[in-house]
Amino acid sequence: MPDLSDSFEGSFFHKWDVRCKIITILCFCFMVASISNFAVALIAISFALLVIVMAQVSLQRVLRRLLAISGFMLMFLLIMPFSVPVLPGDTIIVPNGIQWMGFNMRGLYLAATVASKAVAITMMMEPLFSTAPLPVTLHGLSRLGVPEMVAQMILLSHRYLHVFRHEASRISSGMKVRGFRKRSDLATLQAVANFTGMLFVRSFDRTERVFDAMKARGYKGCFPEPLVLKIYPLDIFISGIGVAMGVLLIAVDKNFFI
């Protein structure tokens, strides 16, 4: 079972009211998404990096999140310079006179802007999810109006995905011990089909046992609150600073780069 909380609680981000944290970071991300200038997007990345340092979260987790979106961003950088419509004033690089392979610098600029905004938003997600236990974050979402059932489904899915992976690893190890090797033949397809069916059967049986255990412990459709949420003036002050950072980015983007 994975640890659902961050063991280190030394920064003010860990003590920040989760509702204020969610609203502030999401507002900042929406403001970053509306940026249209590459230089301002780089400033947003620097703001996100500053937040990561102040929150004292794991840089390894941040890098894993960035790696997850790297393929999508690379696609933008490769395709947009060749696919954006050519407008008057665009700089087009034509390699060896091949007109249909014209490289539009404006397309590269747009792709770099989109990629930079995505990086900034992705970096801001780590302080949101790593500075409070997952049940507390979901409890804050439910207090903000998200249906309680949705929060419960997310929490149970998070737990069960790791159980599902562990069960798949056990079955796979058993097959290898019995001499199974992947090949391009009918026997391999039958073994994979048996593996998939057994995985779902065992997972369903375990789900029933877990649900019976939850009912035996008094589960009646909702989990007990992990803690009592209370907003302090410092929480509002920190939220104001976060929103002000986003507003500053919008102001610089709209007033100085149009």
Mark whether 122 and 241 lie in a shared domain: yes
Report if residue 73 sits inside a domain: yes
Confidence category of residue 29, pLDDT binned at 50, 70, 90: very high
> Residue 157 carries which side chain, given as an amino acid letter?
S
Mark whether 192 and 70 lie in a shared domain: no
| 120: pLDDT strictly greater than 90 | yes
Q: What's the pLDDT at 9?
A: 57
Confidence category of residue 3, pLDDT binned at 50, 70, 90: very low
Cα angle vertex 72, ends 66, 76, to 5°? 120
| 129: pLDDT strictly greater than 90 | no
| 256: pLDDT strictly greater than 60 | no
- For 155-210, write each residue's pLDDT tens digit: 888 878 877 888 888 888 888 888 877 788 787 888 888 888 888 888 788 878 88
Report if residue 4 sits inside a domain: no
Q: Which of 61-65, 94-98, 102-106, 149-153 has the highest mean pLDDT?
A: 61-65
Q: What is the pTM of this model?
A: 0.76
- Domain residues for the domain of 191 are 148-216
Mark whether 158 and 204 lie in a shared domain: yes
Mark whether 83 and 206 lie in a shared domain: no
Q: What's the pLDDT at 77?
A: 87
Mark whether 118 and 41 lie in a shared domain: yes
Cα angle vertex 79, ends 73, 80, to 5°? 90
Nearest Cα residue to 38 out of 102, 94, 120: 120
Q: Considering its fold, how many domains does the chain have in total?
A: 2
Confidence category of residue 7, pLDDT binned at 50, 70, 90: very low
Mark whether 194 and 102 lie in a shared domain: no
Mark whether 60 and 176 lie in a shared domain: no
Residues pairing with 92 in the sheet: 104
Q: What's the pLDDT at 82?
A: 83
Report if residue 222 sits inside a domain: no
Mark whether 234 and 172 lie in a shared domain: no
Long-range contacts of 61-70 (CB under 8 A, 24+ apart): 61/126, 61/130, 62/123, 62/126, 65/122, 65/123, 65/125, 65/126, 66/119, 66/122, 66/123, 69/118, 69/119, 69/122
Mark whether 87 and 24 lie in a shared domain: yes
Report if residue 199 sits inside a domain: yes
Mark whether 204 and 237 lie in a shared domain: no
Mean pLDDT of 122-144: 86
Report if residue 139 sits inside a domain: no
